[in-house]
Amino acid sequence: MPEFKLTRYRIRTEGAGRSPAQPFSAVLLSDMHNDSYGNANSRLLQAIRSEKPEAVFVTGDMLTATLEPQRDSALALMDQLTKEYPVYYVNGNHESKEKKRTADSADARESYSEAIRGYGVHLLENSCVRTEIRRMPVTIWGLELPLDYYQRFRRMPLGAEQVAEFLGVPDEGRYNILLAHQPLYFDAYARWGADLTLSGHLHGGLVRLPYLGGVVSPQFSLFPRYDRGLYTKYGRKLVVSAGLGGHSVLIRVNNPPELVVLDFT
Ligand SMILES: [Fe+2]
């Protein structure tokens, strides 16, 4: 895996009573697939610390769910991060698969979800937490879509009403941040009322071409629309991380792994 780079986005919150008293930063980790940068992720942790983030957002696929699940580095990273920062986490398709596997297993201690909860991770499985960051009232939501929404060659429809069925309605007068691994449904997230959606899943489209962007999604659709970057629709924002790792197809062309830093003003 090549070394990661740092990608920075400025997020203007622009709402009466919903803006921070002072600017602050947060980091977004996604799609690490149990990789490690340095011994026990020392290089990644150092990069995070130098940003002095108020929060760590995680948008899933931090482990790889295979017959022999790979999750030791992911567990160690969550253990360390929760000692230093509030960590808000939504599952990706790999965690959902792993959850299914451990639900069927006799040994409940095997559960990845329980382990990271035990460290203090706010694991948002179609739920939310309300908090304040620099006096800005923030609600952080986690949308965990069923695995049907990740099928290959087939796109399940999803509208704002279904998002509301999973989550309820967003909070008025608060800044609503939605963690959603699958960025494909940005339209529904924006219509539902997410001021800012954070996503991953596409690994930047694996191979990136100048002007055209990412070439292929994990569902094998070509030139996926939201593969990495900052997008705006109906005045609401989406940030898609290109991710920090990979699995199965370990190709990344013109598409380095990235640590995303969000500068809120
Ligand atoms: Fe994924």
Distances (CA, A) of 201 to 112, 117, 150, 228: 19, 22, 10, 10
Q: What is the total count of domains within the chain?
A: 1
Which residues are bridge partners to 239 per DSSP? 198, 230
CB of 238 closer than 8 Å to CB of 226? yes
Measured in Å, residue 260 CA sits from the centre of ligand 1 at 17
**Averaging pLDDT over each range in 2-16, 63-77, 163-177, 239-253, which range is the top one?**
163-177
Cβ(35)–Cβ(244) below 8 Å: yes
3-state secondary structure of 6: strand
Confidence of residue 222 (pLDDT cuts 50, 70, 90): low
Domain span at 98: 5-264
CATH number (domain holding residue 164) = 3.60.21.10
CA–centroid distance, residue 181 to ligand 1 (Å) = 7
How confident is the model at residue 209, as a pLDDT?
Answer: 62
61 CA to centre of ligand 1 in angstroms: 5
The per-residue pLDDT for range 85-142, each reduced to its tens digit, is: 999 999 999 999 999 888 877 665 679 999 999 999 999 999 999 999 999 999 999 9
pLDDT tens sequence across 5-51:
999 999 999 875 688 999 999 999 999 999 999 999 999 999 999 99
